[in-house]
Chains A and B, each alone.
Chain A
Amino acid sequence: MNARPIGPMPWTLWLAAPMALCMAASLIFATPARAFGLQAPEPVFALAPAFAWAMIRPSVWPPLALLMLGLFQDLLWGTPLGLWPLCLLAAYGFIFSFRAILVGQEFWALWAWYALACGLGLGVGLLTISLEAGHVPSPMGVAWQWLVSAILFPFAWRLIERYEDQDVRFR
């Protein structure tokens, strides 16, 4: 088995690659496809790297990357500009503030925290859009999007597993 390189992580791997994957996945899931009469769900893929980046290490780049990812989603989905950056940054900030007690937790415990962060992010979106539109969006719609986003935790876990120990300064 090859030893993994230890040292500063190349930003292309832990930042740019997940960003590109999220953008591609969002684009694919935005195609108007139906299978057996059912539409594909619309998960918020960017919540997975938002969680993982907060867990991996402190860095000034993830907030900026999430700002970019959120703006991409706003332009793709036609939401008010700034809505999704706010949601993603809320989830990131929440997890980052609890990073000290979350590092080293088990898979299922982290999944619960991830679901909580998804709920917080979508809650911020719900509040913002309610203020913007003047009435509250369908709670069922928000709950469904939370559910399909929360099941994406294995992708966040994979990212954490891959890069958590890469930089010895943050072990």
Chain B
Amino acid sequence: MSLRDGPFGDIKPPLAWLTRIALALAVMAAIALVITDRGGTGRPGAYLAARRTADSVTGPVGGVMSAPVRWVGDGFDSVRGYVFAGSQNRELRRELAAASSWRDEALALRGENARLRAMLGVKTDPPLPMVFARTVIDTRGPFANSRLADAGADRGVTEGNPVMSDHGLVGRVAGVADHVSRILLLTDIESRTPVLIARTNGRAILTGDGGPNPALAYLRNHDPLRDGDRVLTSGDGGVLPRGLPVGAVVKGYDGAWRVALDSDAAPIDFVRILLFKDFSQIAPTAALAPTTLPSTATGAPDTPPTPAAAPAKSAAPAKASAP
């Protein structure tokens, strides 16, 4: 027997008022969620487990769904490549001619660099280990710009790892689950990246705002910027390694200096996640190893040891212990 057939069937609840009450309750729940999910000064990671679980589910689903969409996209690109083959050929020939002269110059500079480094004894950074991943979910609205990549904690990815495409920096890892990781793009409104201008060595903070070209804030240089100036990561703060290509300076529609990202040059289907944690990773391990300090008991505290005497002193116990 349904409720309508019973003794309460004639009762007509004030549905409009009930709807308003439900709406008010839902709004209050949403506001409570927004307040409790505040990062930074609030409680970071209040719903971390929920986000990780959601990413773990949407990652594989997105991977399956993106496959046919990618095939269709590749088909469109094939058609486009076929239609525009002539103009692309001309453009590639022009680029090749320009690149040939650059190649000679680059080879000469590489040799000169190697000689100068050898003379000065400069230690270069060792290559960073990296993980290749495919992006499966792409968020590109004004309130969030992030991607899900199909590599997670199981492959050594940790939060903060820089992410690069073939052309330049894409962003950094903001969340990691077992098999997927969420990449916070440089264009996201929460993204702040310390950068430098290659020409002037001036520092700035690349600030995302949900648009395609993040702005340069806190510019610390008297030398004005120019259109086309190269922008690299500065490595300040130790969050990212120094010198990763970011993009080129452009004047925004709002008059602010912005950056046309290098990573926009091509679709970001595959990415490289650099397993960079901090600068101790790229420093020589031996130099960071704890060393035994020489004893301070010299017997003659008023006379500082001479540089020549110090090695002789430290060598004495070694001789004594030798067989």
Please list the residues of chain A having a beta carbon within 8 angstroms of any beta carbon in chain B.
27-28, 30-37, 39, 42, 57-64, 66-67, 70-71, 75-83, 85-86, 89-90, 92-93, 96, 125-126, 128-129, 132-133, 135-138, 140-142, 144-145
Are B141 and A141 closer than 8 Å at their CB atoms?
yes
Q: Which residues of A sit under 8 angstroms from B38, Cβ to Cβ?
A: 80, 132
Check if A63 sits within 8 Å of B26, measured CB to CB.
Answer: yes
B117 partner residues in chain A, CB cutoff 8 A: none
Is there an interface contact between B26 and A133, defined as CB atoms closer than 8 Å?
Answer: no
Known: A60-B19, A129-B189. A83 touches B143 (CB 8 A): yes
For A96, the chain B residues whose CB sits under 8 A away are 19-20, 23
B16 surroundings in chain A (CB, below 8 A): 58
30 contacts between A and B (CB under 8 A): A27-B61, A28-B65, A30-B139, A31-B70, A32-B136, A32-B138, A33-B73, A36-B76, A37-B80, A39-B140, A66-B26, A70-B30, A75-B50, A75-B58, A76-B139, A77-B143, A79-B144, A80-B34, A81-B47, A82-B33, A83-B34, A85-B30, A89-B23, A92-B23, A96-B20, A126-B143, A129-B189, A136-B209, A137-B142, A142-B142
A125: chain B residues at CB < 8 Å are: 143
Partner of A135, one of B139, B143, B207: B207
A80 nearest CB across to chain B (Å)? 5
Binary per-residue interface labels of chain B (62-100) against chain A in the complex, 1 for a CB within 8 Å, 0 otherwise: 100110011011001100100000000000000000000
Q: Is the CB of B58 within 8 A of A137?
A: no
Whether the pair B143, A129 counts as a contact (CB closer than 8 A) is yes
Q: Of B32, B137, B267, which one neighbours A34 at CB under 8 angstroms?
A: B267
Q: Taking the nearest CB of chain B, how far is it from the CB of A29, in angstroms? A: 9
Q: Which of A32, A62, A137 makes the CB contact (< 8 A) with B209?
A: A137
Taking CB atoms, residues of chain A closer than 8 Å to B34 are: 80-83, 86, 128, 132
Flag if A32 contacts B267 (CB, 8 Å): yes
Whether B146 is near chain A, meaning CB under 8 Å from some CB there, is: yes
CB distance from A144 to the nearest CB of B (A): 8
Between A67, A81, A135, A136, the greatest number of chain B beta carbons within 10 A of the residue's beta carbon is seen for A81
CA distance A21 to B23 in the complex (A): 22
CB atoms of B182 and A135 under 8 A apart:
no
B residues less than 8 Å from A75 (CB atoms): 50-51, 54-55, 58
Q: Which residues of B contact A42 (CB under 8 A)?
A: 139-141
Q: Which residues of A contact B320 (CB under 8 A)?
A: none
A35 and B267 alpha carbons, distance in the complex (Å)? 10
Known contacts being A93-B27, A128-B34, is A35 close to B137, with CB within 8 Å?
Answer: no
Contacting residues, chain B, for A34 (C-beta < 8 A): 73, 77, 267
- For residue B29, CB closer than 8 A to chain A, the reply is yes
For A132, the chain B residues whose CB sits under 8 A away are: 34, 38
Task: Please determine whether A67 and B141 come into contact, CB atoms closer than 8 angstroms.
Answer: no
**Is there contact, CB below 8 Å, between A67 and B18?**
no
Q: State the 7 A-B residue pairs at the shortest beta-carbon distance, nearest first.
A: A82-B33, A138-B211, A141-B142, A82-B34, A75-B54, A32-B138, A85-B30
